[in-house]
Amino acid sequence: MTGWRALLVKEMTRFWRVAFQTIAAPVLTALMYLLIFGHVLRDHVEVFPGVSYLQFLVPGLIMMSVLQNAFANSSSSLIQSKMMGNLVFLLLTPLTAWHWFLAYVLSSVMRGLAVGVGIALVTAVVVRLPLYSAVWVLAFAFLGSAMLGAMGVIAGLWADKFDQMAAFQNFVIMPMTFLSGVFYSIHSLPDFWQQVSHFNPFFYMVDGFRYGFFGHSDVSPWLSLGLLSVAWALVSGLALYLLQTGYKIRS
C-alpha cells in the first residue's frame, strides 16, 4: 500500500503547490459566471418554485468546476510526465495498474472537491443555499469527479502533445459540461433538445447534485445515480485496461 500512497501524495502536492492556479483561479472564474449570469437573468428565470435563479445557478457552477478540474488534474499530470520524460521513473517501480489508477483518480477527486468547497464558501457571501440532503450532494460530487478523473487518465494516455489534450478538453469536456444544464433547466428547451440532453452523462451529474440542495430535479436522482455509476464503471474499466496494457507509455 505504501507505493500508491506515495504516488497519491505526490499528485496532491503537485496541484497544491500551485494552488493559486489550480484552486483559486477556478473559484474566481465561477464567481464571475455567477455575477454576470445572475445579474442578467435573476429577474427573468425561476426554475423551481421558491428557488431564485442565483440559487439554482450556484450548484451547477460548483459541479461544472468540480468536473473540469478533476479532468484537468489527471490529464495534465500524465501528459506533462510524458512530455518531460520523467514517466519512466514510475514505470521502473513495482506499482500495478490499480495503484496508478487509484493515485491519479483520488488526487483528481481531491482537487475537484477542493475547488467545489472553495466556490461554495465564496458564493455563500452572495447566495444562501438550502441543503436538502448532504448524502446526495457528496455522492454525486464524488462519483462525478472520480469519473472525470478516470477520463483524464484516458486522455492523458492518448494524447502525445499538449494541443491534442487541449482539443480533447475543448471539443469533448467543455461542450458536455456547458450543455449539461448548468445554466438552465432542460424543461426550458424544445422537445428535441430535451431528448438530446438525456444522452449527456454530465447532465445527470449536475441534475443529481442540484437535487441534493433543493429536493427538486429534472429526472429521478436514483436514475441519475444509476446511470452515473454505470458510466463511471465503463470509463474506469477502459482506463484500467489502458494502464495494464501500457498504452503509449511502454513503447
Per-residue pLDDT of the chain (251 residues; tens, 9 = 90+): 588 899 999 999 999 999 999 999 999 999 988 888 777 666 656 667 778 888 888 999 999 999 999 999 999 999 999 888 888 888 888 899 999 999 999 999 999 999 999 999 999 988 888 999 999 999 999 999 999 999 999 999 999 888 898 889 889 888 898 888 888 888 777 888 888 888 999 999 999 999 999 998 889 999 999 999 999 999 999 999 999 998 988 76
User: Is residue 199 assigned to a domain?
Assistant: yes
In the numeric block, the cell 450543455 is attached to 179
Per the structure, the complete domain to which residue 213 belongs is given by 2-245
pLDDT digits (tens, 9 = 90+) for 213-245: 999 888 999 999 999 999 999 999 999 999 999
User: Is residue 250 assigned to a domain?
Assistant: no
User: Is residue 195 assigned to a domain?
Assistant: yes
User: Is residue 251 assigned to a domain?
Assistant: no
User: Is residue 155 assigned to a domain?
Assistant: yes
Asked if residue 137 lies in contact with residue 66, where contact means CB atoms within 8 angstroms, the answer is: no
Q: CB neighbours of 210 closer than 8 A, spacing ≥ 6?
A: 56, 59, 60, 63, 216, 217
pLDDT digits (tens, 9 = 90+) for 83-111: 888 888 888 888 999 999 999 999 999 99
Closest CA to 63 of 251, 164, 189, 201: 201
User: Is residue 238 assigned to a domain?
Assistant: yes
First-to-last alpha carbon distance for the chain, in angstroms, is 27
Closest CA to 141 of 123, 168, 114, 122: 114
Domain count, the chain: 1
The one-letter code for the residue type at 219 is V
